[in-house]
A and B are shown apart, each in its own frame.
Chain A
Amino acid sequence: MDSMTKGMTPIVQAVSGWVKGFILVFGIYLVLYGHLTPGGGFGGGVVIAMAFVLLVLAHGKEEGLRRLPMGVAAELDSVGALMFLIIALLGMFAGLGGSFFTNFIAKAYPGEPYSLLSAGIIPLANIAIALKVASSLFVIFMMLVLMRVVYTEPGKDS
């Protein structure tokens, strides 16, 4: 348990310092190009969460919590869910005769196929899903790391 809370050797810390930025950028790339190449909100979000998990494993939980505090992660989780829902509801009220989850942007501005700015709501929804997945996985990982399991014999005071 102690090895997880204090961080690892300086070699691991130095290497993870180099690598974590690349992992984060790769995750963001997966999210933004999710409608053109393999990837998307789920895959990208998991990779982004992994960058922070690497930080926690290498530098200890204090460093991880300094970069992304638990409260902020929990709020980002809610922001992702709300953003997804608002995108869905906007399709209903955008005045294009749409229903829930109408791709209203693609109907108004179709955009060039195979380019980044195309496919209407899909990139936005990808970003929302990625926020949600990344922050909720980080929260649950941190909860499990912070959880302190001590067995107290029955009869003794806890």
Chain B
Amino acid sequence: MHYALCLALFLVGLYGVMVKRNLIKIVISLVILESAVNMFIIMIGYRKDGIAPIMSKMMDPEVFASRSVDPIPQALVLTAIVIGLGVTAMTVALAMRLYEKYGTYDIKEIRNLKG
């Protein structure tokens, strides 16, 4: 159920990338895609009634190891979010350069102007 909802969020983003004509809308769809994927990777490691993978002095290590959520997806997503920001900035820069050249964000019009 939850995985299916996450997939639906992903597909909403994919729909935007494939159907929309506005370049800014396409960038927005890419951001949605990215958060859906990050969400899914974190969801794989979630344990019901789990605890965050940060130890404290009071905690027994054995109990901690048996109740903590999975730390590896969190480590992977942590870096992916920052890289997503870099990629978003790059696509925005690309869209603004295209606007400078053609005077519009409409990709259909851009395609008609120049093949």
Is B truly associated with A? yes
Does A147 contact B99, Cβ atoms closer than 8 Å?
no
Report chain B residues within 8 Å CB of A42: 78-79, 81-82
Report chain B residues within 8 Å CB of A114: 56-57
- Tell me the number of A-to-B contacts counted with CB atoms below 8 Å: 39
- The segment from B6-14, B17-25, B35-43, B88-96 that touches chain A is B88-96
Does A144 contact B92, Cβ atoms closer than 8 Å?
yes
Report chain A residues within 8 Å CB of B103: 151, 153
Q: How far is the CA of A141 from the CA of B86 in the complex (A)?
A: 10
Report chain A residues within 8 Å CB of B92: 144
Looking at chain B's contact residues, the main secondary structure is: helix
Give B57-90 interface residues, CB cut-off 8 Å to A: 57, 78-79, 81-82, 85-86, 89
Q: Is A137 an interface residue (CB 8 A)?
A: yes
Does A150 contact B100, Cβ atoms closer than 8 Å?
yes
Does A151 contact B99, Cβ atoms closer than 8 Å?
yes
Q: Is B107 an interface residue (CB 8 A)?
A: no
Q: Is B1 an interface residue (CB 8 A)?
A: no
5 nearest interchain CB pairs? Answer: A151-B103, A140-B89, A149-B100, A149-B96, A42-B78
